Amino acid sequence: MTTRTGPKAQDYSIVAGSIGPRRDFRISVGLREGWDAEGRVFDVSEAVRTAHAWMRRRVEAGQPALSGMFTRAEVAYAWPRLDGTVGSDREPIALFTGEAVHAYLGHLSDDAIVAMLNELAVELGAALGQERMYVTFTDRTWILDAGERSN
């Protein structure tokens, strides 16, 4: 019987073509549908299923896809009310975080990564009944909003 051992410290080396600028990203999407406290609360696994489907479609079409990790979190916030009091709340969210790793996506422009982030965020928002998704990429941040439409 052969005993398998893992790599040793001296086995590691930097992968050729893997060094490049850090291009990290995050998509924050609510898990509670709508604005009411009674709205359906999705499990983070629904966000994972949605992202997997998006990734598979892109790869099947010969296009690159982002990969990353999902975590469940809660966002806490407060706002001033018209009567002078302060309201506060919290809600569950899914965070999709990752990096556009240079070894795999280094050939893509920042604009191409932004387009993929927007595409995935919109799919997550539609699947989870959200009007707003919050996106960050490197040193930029923006909000995608389905409720604000110009005529």
The answer to whether residue 64 is domain-embedded is yes
pLDDT tens per residue across span 72-109: 999 999 999 999 999 999 999 999 999 999 999 999 99
Alpha helices in the chain (DSSP H): 44-60, 102-105, 110-127
The answer to whether residue 13 is domain-embedded is no
Alpha helices in 73-138 (DSSP H): 102-105, 110-127
Residue 35 clears pLDDT 90, i.e. is over it: no
The answer to whether residue 150 is domain-embedded is no
Q: Write out the DSSP string of 77-91.
A: EEEE-TTS-EEEEEE
What's the total number of domains in the chain?
Answer: 1
Give me the residues paired with residue 72 across strands: 94
Provide the CATH number for the domain around residue 119.
3.30.70
**What pLDDT score does 149 carry?**
59
Residue 17 clears pLDDT 70, i.e. is over it: yes
The answer to whether residue 3 is domain-embedded is no
The answer to whether residue 69 is domain-embedded is yes
Cα 132 from Cα 84, distance rounded (Å) = 26
**What pLDDT score does 150 carry?**
54
In the predicted model, what is the mean pLDDT of residues 29-33? Answer: 94
In the predicted model, what is the mean pLDDT of residues 120-132? Answer: 96
Q: What is the domain range of residue 59?
A: 22-79+89-144
**What pLDDT score does 28 carry?**
98
